[in-house]
Amino acid sequence: MPYIRVGEENGAPIEIYYESHGTGRPVVLIHGYPLNGHSWEKQERALLAAGYQVVTYDRRGFGRSSQPVIGYDYDTFAADLNALMEGLDLRDTVLAGFSMGSGEVTRYLGTYGSGRVSQAVLMAPLQPYLLKTDDNPEGVDAAVFDGIKQAITADRFAYLRAFLDDFYNVDILGSSRISDPAWQASFQIAADASATATLACVSTWTTDFRADLPKFDVPTLVIQGDQDRILPIAATGARLDGLIKDIRYVVVKGGPHAIGWTHADQVNEALLDFIQ
């Protein structure tokens, strides 16, 4: 299996698992919490059929990547992505991130620039700044994140069940757009992730990306469901118009957080239209 080495912990390598399929212009797909690179399967299928090279990888702590207890911050996540981009020598790349993955895209462009990137996609994004502060009144109270961490610490599996219900808006879309077996598959992937990573990543959700966004100098697609319960659209995607220079903003009506699965046809149409 292919891996990129990105560090070391107590003498053991920290490795990022990736998959690269197809030929043509590369599209790097970065997954959301608490899943892995395979969560992009409906987009990967469409992109391969359209003639693109598709690269997915598992964030450290998740999927088949190493599960260290260090490095759960966006500077490190972006460095892991940079190691992948350089290791595979990817150029003219479409860099697409879903949910937590939007943070890698944003911090990567803010730190490493767009020398290897020609377009960016932020799907159900974290940006610009999720935490409510005096200069960011549109954000979410810190107590909410403290409560999430307490719930994970008390019973990680019970928390993941509730999280995934809201991830897919199961009460509304169950059976019609998210089957029970698909939900169960997501739960198993989430349960197999590092307990440390599952908890530590919550703190990364309050990363301030406002200094990174003005550094975007590539066309950017922002796509989000208007019924997103995980990252409410009013606090995230709807605020990005004007913060990114060249932006296309697509709202999926009735879409939950996980629009890549529940509304794959609409997401794929918007994605392919943008990058073609």
Cβ contact 165:229 at 8 Å: no
Return the structure tokens found at 139.
Answer: 């954000």
228 belongs to the catalytic site? yes
99 is catalytic: yes
pLDDT digits 0-9 by tens, 18-52: 999 999 999 999 999 999 999 999 999 999 999 99
CATH of the domain at 235: 3.40.50.1820
Pick the catalytic residue from 58, 80, 212, 228.
Answer: 228
| The pLDDT of residue 193 | 98
Q: Which of 65, 99, 186, 194 is catalytic?
A: 99
> Six-digit token pair at 238?
């709807």
Report the first-to-last Cα separation within the chain, whole angstroms: 31
Question: Any catalytic annotation for residue 257?
Answer: yes
Q: Bridge partners of 265?
A: none
**Cα(200)–Cα(195) distance, rounded to whole angstroms?**
9
In this prediction, residue 164 carries a pLDDT of 98
Total count of domains within the chain: 1
Which range of residues forms the domain containing residue 267? 3-275
Strands 53-57, 12-21: pairing is antiparallel
pLDDT at 1: 74
In the prediction, which pLDDT does 97 show? 98
Torsion, CA 127, CA 133, CA 134, CA 136, rounded to 10: 10
Mapped onto helix, strand or coil, the DSSP state of residue 133 is strand
List the catalytic residue out of 31, 66, 212, 257: 257
- Predicted TM-score (pTM) of the model is 0.97
Give me the mean pLDDT over the 102-106 stretch. 98
Q: Which residue has the tokens 């409906």?
A: 42
**Chain segment 258-272, per-residue pLDDT in tens:** 999 999 999 999 999
Instruction: Output Rg (C-alpha) for the chain, integer angstroms.
Output: 17
